[in-house]
Chain A
Amino acid sequence: MEMLFAEASALVAALFTNDAWEISEAIGKPGAWIIGFIVTLGGAAIVLAIYRAVPFIERHFERSVMVWSYLIIAGIIFVEVFRRFVLSEQAPWSTTLPPFLFLIMTWFGCSFNIKLRTHLSFNEFRIAMPPTGRMFCLALDAVLWFGICWIVVVTSSRVAANSASNFQILLGTDDVLQWWFLVTVPLAFVLMAARVLSNLLTDIRNYRSGEEMIQTAVIGGE
């Protein structure tokens, strides 16, 4: 246990060095799980506080990222195909940047779907349960979501740190680093943890007040 805390402290120290290699080395150690837990839980609480303080961000942040990354992907591909046919030229990054934007869109979209509870699931038994049973299922969801967020925050941060330490460049560009995009994955999972926390608080409130806890989710709605 002492070793774990020492590694966690080393990671915090490495983060302040601003040296990608140091961070990559430190984040690869088991102590990163402690920092990951704190970042996931603390980050979720901070994001939730921001959402509460500025509802505009809560409503528009994920949506804006999703819509803009989607439209930029479509725009790049459409324009570059047009340029290839008409002008016989194509930007070298036009096939490498869109996949990274897809990565961002996917995980921010995943977070948005947690907010709306539209992830695919088999709800027939849950709906038929008494309120306490439903509350148990919703709490189970929250615990499981939080666990997966914790795991992905740690492991995907390692991927981003490794990419940064190797100075991986986005193919087709001279100076755009891949980790700038990869780091959005742990960020998105912190946002997911915030959504999970928010949903859980809503469920507890609804359970106590006797309100309906499982609403029919609508794709495309809010």
Chain B
Amino acid sequence: MTDATWITIISLGVTVFFMLGVPVFLVIGYWVVACSFVLGLTLDNMGAALSDVFTDGFALLAMPLFILTGDLINRSGIARRLSDFAYSCIGWLRGGLAMAALAACGLFAAISGSNSATTATIGSMLHPEMVKGGYDERFSAATAAAGGTVGIIIPPSIIFIVYGFLMNLPISDLFVAGIIPGTLMVVGMQLVCWVVCKVNGWGHLIPLNLNRVLKTAFGAWLGFFAIGLVLWGIYTGKFSPTEAAGVTVGFCIIVGLISLPLYNIMSKGKAEDRAAVDKSFSEMLVVEGFKLTEIPTITMRSAQITGILAPLIAVSVVMQQILSLLGAQEVIGGFVRGMGGYYAVLFTAMAIVFVAGMILESLPVTIILAPILAPIAHSVGVDPIHFSVIFLVGASIGFITPPYGLNLYVASGVTGVPYFRLLRYSVMYMFALLAVWIFVALTPELATVLLPDR
């Protein structure tokens, strides 16, 4: 048998493993091991890569730190304040709470960098309220899942860090490039949300009240400060993305620890579940915070997520190396280039990313496909930063596309709505995201206009 036949058999074999529920880390790992045997490569490459991926640079460290940031802002109460603010601004619209959940995802994403953290936080916080407010539980869960997709587009973003690390692009530029497309994704999903809620008559309307908006905006000031700190630091070049992440973690810990006693004094021991509008300005000045003894528990959750994602990155890097040796770059490159000019190449690349996102987690998709597709796109004149945004918006849509839509699993986990029941409404959001994706692909300025050196 030829090598090609063996590789096909191996690929089919690991697909069977995947369908049998074998962890993705093992699926990719055994593909690498089996292909190494077929190609006569030493397995030592695997041991080296599983260490070197982490120790070779400082950039990838931003990933665990932004995951931790997400958990810290959630536990400190900053995330709750951001969602209160979003609701007070758009609660007067039909479907306002669901739209606020999407806006809260965008705000949360501007401090954290993780899609699953965004989905889990906003889903667990707002799903019960949405169901109580008369929304269909499947729709509520699908909203949290879809909202989480912006977690990796609005800066900071874990996956932009990985992309920049792989493609040797400035991560700060990638972050800046994600701002407008990420905002458009939120707006696009809100439009769909509004239409669905209007048609079904879901949600209670609250009057637009300037006092409430100002009070919740004031209450969310720590969140806005954290967003400003990250964006200012990265945009001005004062910190690297990793340092920005470390600074944000430190900021959130300090805020959380200082806030707890202050909040207890200011709220005078009143019940904590009062609505934002019932709280005084002095209570809104600080967040609920957390105790020093809670930090290990918060950190543990983030460490656990890192312990899932980081091994996947490592093993995907080895897979990418094997694919390069197999000449995948030339094969896919030839196929994509054969499509014709700028737009044909762009849309073919997008189709590949979309299909890959349906069956793989976004990290392997990025690590495997970005080094193949980005040079091809560049060769037909697509700006590398613009392509990174196109690529990653496509990868983020993969979070809500079955069969392997990670956010659907996370939303199902935090809301208790079965995975397959989410699909009816997540598909609607997917179409909104596809429309935004195409718009972003056709309009490079959306990604490049905010870059400081353009």
Binding site for B on A (CB under 8 A): 63, 66-67, 70-71, 73-79, 81-82, 95-96, 98-100, 102-103, 105-113, 116, 118-127, 137, 140-141, 144-145, 147-148, 151-152, 154-159, 178, 181-182, 185, 216, 218-220
Contacts and interface: CB of A to CB of B under 8 A. Distances in A.
Across chains A and B, which 7 residue pairs bring their CB atoms closest together, nearest first? A109-B307, A155-B47, A77-B246, A78-B250, A126-B21, A220-B301, A119-B23
A158 B22 contact: no
Nearest to B238: A85
Given A102-B61, A156-B51, A116 B23 contact: no
B96 to A, nearest CB: 30
Contacts of A109: 303-304, 306-308, 310
A177 B133 CA distance: 59
A124 B239 CA distance: 43
Given A109-B310, A156-B47, A185-B50, A74 B65 contact: yes
From B43, B54, B301, residue with most partner A Cβ within 10 Å: B54
B24 interface: yes
> Which applies to chain B's interface (DSSP): helix, strand, loop or mixed?
helix
A185 B51 contact: yes
A105 B26 contact: no
Given A151-B43, A216-B413, A70 B310 contact: no
B26 A99 contact: no
A74 B311 contact: no
B298 to A, nearest CB: 9
A152 B64 CA distance: 23
A66 B307 contact: yes
A218 B18 contact: no
A158 B246 contact: no
Interface in B263-307: 295-296, 299-307
Nearest to B301: A220
Contacts of A154: 43, 47
B109 interface: no
B68 to A, nearest CB: 7
Contacts of A113: 304, 307-308
B406 A78 contact: no
Given A120-B361, A159-B48, A102 B310 contact: yes
Given A66-B303, A102-B61, A122-B404, A152 B243 contact: no
A141 B58 CA distance: 33
B383 to A, nearest CB: 30
B20 A119 contact: no
A38 to B, nearest CB: 18
A155 B23 contact: no
A67 B299 contact: yes
A140 B306 contact: no
A73 B295 contact: no
Contacts of A111: 307
Contact of A120 (B45, B304, B406, B420): B406
Contacts of B304: 66, 109, 112-113, 116, 118, 219-220
19 contacts: A66-B299, A67-B303, A70-B64, A70-B68, A73-B246, A74-B68, A77-B61, A77-B246, A102-B60, A102-B64, A119-B23, A119-B25, A120-B308, A122-B403, A137-B20, A144-B22, A145-B26, A151-B33, A182-B51
